[in-house]
Amino acid sequence: MVCKVARSKLFQYMDGELPEEQAFAVESHLAACPDCRRLAELERSFRERYVEPLRPAPTPQRVRDQVTRFLDALPDRQSAAQRLPAFLRARLLAGLALFVLGSLLGVGLGRLLGHGGERPWNRPETSLVRLAAVSVEQHQKLARGILPYDIQRVAPKAAEQWFKGRLNFNVSLPELTGDDLVLLGGRISNLEDLEVAALHYRVEGKDVSLFIIPVEKYRTLGLGDSPKFKMVTRQGYDVVVWASHGAAYSLVSEIGGRSCLVCHSREEKLDLPPGSRVHDKL
């Protein structure tokens, strides 16, 4: 089985909806292919962390019957079972039932999922912790090669010009180079619903991600001027957030303040929170 076929069947495999022969073929491919296995592990981790805790109780039979009657009443007069494969029918039933239950309870689907139907960046004030969380999620995908680059192995200023032609906010990248600093690639990505410039670096052999965000969105964090650099630890990663020269940044790494070499020289004095290390070596 080739990667394209395995990935097309990955969700059905993880849901236990593949025939035994196909499931065995997917398992064999995952055992031999580290890239596809990494995708499966990421999907499994996502489900364990976000899906399972939110999984609703079994849908009442009364609601399922109402949804089935709705499907059977569609114009082509075929039965719902004939129109949809079993796994799609089950998902549609579950989704419609959840929506109906939410309506009956007087709440929207967004509130059932815990965010009130409102995007974080549209709230009056987005928290620093939330920014750190979504930055870490994107960093993990970049470091694992799940998100493809739009540009790669280019000079910082060339990357800057590429982003400026595609994003409607200021993108500023320092022209720093060195044996222990490499710009691997970049892409236009998203932190929740916010479009950002995402850069993937290698610093001292470690993965570091830099996200450039609109400075007006940074201001919604309600952060004070001191210290200039705010550091948050999230899932074992250090996230440094700051604004400078009309742009704002979120930097993610496992090497603390040393990751600041992406944007700042070793000689530059940085106002990091107490305990942050900038110039130490591994």
Place of tokens 């022969």: 21
Asked if 30 and 65 sit in the same domain, the reply is no
Could you tell me if residue 105 is inside a domain? yes
Please tell me the distance from the alpha carbon of residue 188 to that of residue 149, in angstroms, as a whole number.
Answer: 9
Instruction: Based on the fold, state whether residues 93 and 181 are members of the same structural domain.
Output: no
CA dihedral angle for residue 174, residue 206, residue 235, residue 126, rounded to 10 degrees: 10
Is the same domain home to 144 and 167?
Answer: yes
Provide the phi-psi class of 101: left if phi over 0, else alpha when psi is between -120 and 50, else beta.
alpha
Whether 65 is covered by a domain: the verdict is yes
What average pLDDT score do residues 40-54 get? Answer: 74
- Check: CB of residue 11 under 8 Å from CB of residue 88: no
**Does residue 71 sit in the same domain as residue 165?**
no
* Nearest alpha-carbon partner for 137 in 172, 189, 182: 189
Do 72 and 153 reside in the same domain of the chain? no
> Looking at the whole model, is its pTM more than 0.85?
no
- The total number of structural domains in the chain stands at 3
The phi and psi torsions of 261 (rounded to 5 degrees) equal -65, -15
Same domain, 81 and 11: no
pLDDT-based confidence at residue 228 (cuts at 50, 70, 90)? confident
Question: Which tens digits make up the pLDDT trace of 139-191?
Answer: 999 999 888 999 998 888 899 999 988 999 999 887 665 667 888 999 999 88
pLDDT at 64: 73
pLDDT band at 138 (very low <50, low <70, confident <90, very high): very high
- Running DSSP on this structure, what letter comes out for residue 247? E
Collect all residues with Cβ–Cβ distance below 8 Å to 153 and sequence separation of at least 6: 183, 184, 185
Structural domain boundaries enclosing 44: 3-54
Q: Determine the average pLDDT of the residues in 227-235.
A: 85
Higher pLDDT, 53 or 226: 226
Same structural domain, 144 and 192? yes
C-alpha separations of 154 from 160, 223, 274 in Å: 10, 33, 35
Amino acid at 201: Y
What is the structure's pLDDT at 180?
75
Residues 175 and 90 in one domain: no
- Residue 242, domain CATH: 3.30.200.100
Q: What's the mean pLDDT when you consider all of the chain? A: 76
**Which pair of tokens denotes residue 104?**
């009956």
Same domain, 141 and 241: yes
Asked whether residue 281 is domain-assigned, the answer is no
Residue 40 and residue 18 share a domain: yes
Answer yes or no: is 7 within a domain: yes
Residues 233 and 155 both lie in one domain: yes
Q: Note the pLDDT tens digit of each residue in 121-134.
A: 555 445 888 899 99
Q: Which pLDDT belongs to residue 162?
A: 93
For residue 26, being part of any structural domain is answered with yes
Same domain, 73 and 49: no
- Residue 251: which of 268, 235, 230 has the closest Cα? 230
- Measure the CA–CA gap between 2 and 11, rounded to whole angstroms: 16
Whether pLDDT at 120 is above 80? no
**Residue bearing tokens 């450039």:** 212
Flag whether 254 is in a domain.
yes
For residue 267, is it within any domain? no
49-63, 198-212, 267-281, range with greatest mean pLDDT: 198-212
Spatial contact of 231 and 272, defined as CB atoms under 8 Å apart: yes
User: Residue 28 pLDDT more than 80?
Assistant: yes
Q: Work out the pLDDT band at 192, boundaries 50, 70, 90.
A: confident
Asked whether residue 280 is assigned to any structural domain, the reply reads: no
